[in-house]
Amino acid sequence: MRRALPIATLLLVACGVTDGTLPKTTDPSDTDTDTDSDTDTNTDTDTDTDTDTDTDTNTLPTFDCLTIPEQIIATRAVTNAKGYHGLAFDANDQIVGADNSNNLIAVAYDGTGGVWVPNIGGNEQIAYLDNGDLAVATNSNITRITPAGGESQLANLGGVYGLAVGPDGMLYAADWDKIERIDPTTGQRTTVVPGNSPKVVAFNHEGTHMYFGTISNGGKVYSVELDANYDPVAPPVLVASTPGSWHDGLGLDICGNIYVAEFNNRSLYRIGATTHNVQVLYDYPPAQYGHGLVWGSGSGGWDDHMLYVPQPYNSNTVGEVDIGVPPAGWEGSPIGTSPF
């Protein structure tokens, strides 16, 4: 764009001046011989640099691993929620589990809701797939439930308990003998962990390791290092062993600590990310043993710093256990190292 000439310059041009000096006048009384010409040039340069930085308020949250409580903070019963061996949160901010009649129950945080899918049959753990369908371990099958309640067979493993969706969107199933990876779209199955009596499976925050708890195997908890394709790069490595040997639930927090629900002693254990020490985090009251565990979704009132546990020995009710730390896969990032 061409810059417009200043008004003063336009006046000079109009007077026939093109070199920036005013014309002389012939004034008989003017004896001033001043021939001063304006040679002042503007040497001012703008040295101001833009130091404005983008302070985007949508920055993801962080969690300080040094603030994890040493013990649980509180517990409570969740109104009208039901759970047998598994729980999951749907896209409508409802907690989904099974009642004593094998119906799938979906309940909001305020307790409203009820039967979603009737007569689903005996079920173990459940997990939502990335496309919004629910995978349910029902005896020898894994059943797919659409958001509208439609049912179809996703896989037949001859018996399965633990289910988890991995960071790759694949479904991982533990059937007491092996862990299989199942493509929810094609149904293709791949054995990723043979042997070691796996019963429950989970992943760390970075997606670099898979963990699994066992049944009748000395309470062993293993880790499996994964490559960029989420394939194991080495055999399972023993992390720690819990008192009792019947693992019903497994999960990791954002700082790498492992949480294990163990049947024999009716306890919730924490295995330290740093020390690998096994700590009794919570001894459940009679009948309130949490036969599995999931973190809250972080929306609709479900706190993502709390565990929600199915209680099959207490009429399939659901308990809330405040542990004060979010799960692996949380939308934010950890700061510091776990003290445990």
Three-state DSSP class for residue 158: coil
Q: What order do you get walking across the sheet with 278-283 strand by strand?
A: 247-252, 258-262, 267-271, 278-283
**Whole-angstrom distance, CA of residue 223 vs CA of residue 229:** 17
Q: How many residues does the chain have?
A: 340
β-sheet bridge partners, residue 214: 198
pTM: 0.83
Kindly report, residue by residue over 274-332, the tens digit of the pLDDT. 999 999 999 999 999 999 999 999 999 999 999 999 999 999 999 999 999 999 999 99
Contact 323, 306 (CB under 8 A): yes
- Low-confidence stretches of the chain (pLDDT beneath 70): 1-57
Contact 257, 273 (CB under 8 A): yes
pLDDT at 21: 39
**Whole-angstrom distance, CA of residue 264 vs CA of residue 262:** 6
Tokens of 280: 């009794």
Q: Cα dist. 150→84, 118, 133, 146 in Å?
A: 21, 11, 9, 5
Q: Which domains does the chain have, with CATH numbers?
A: 67-335 (2.120.10.30)
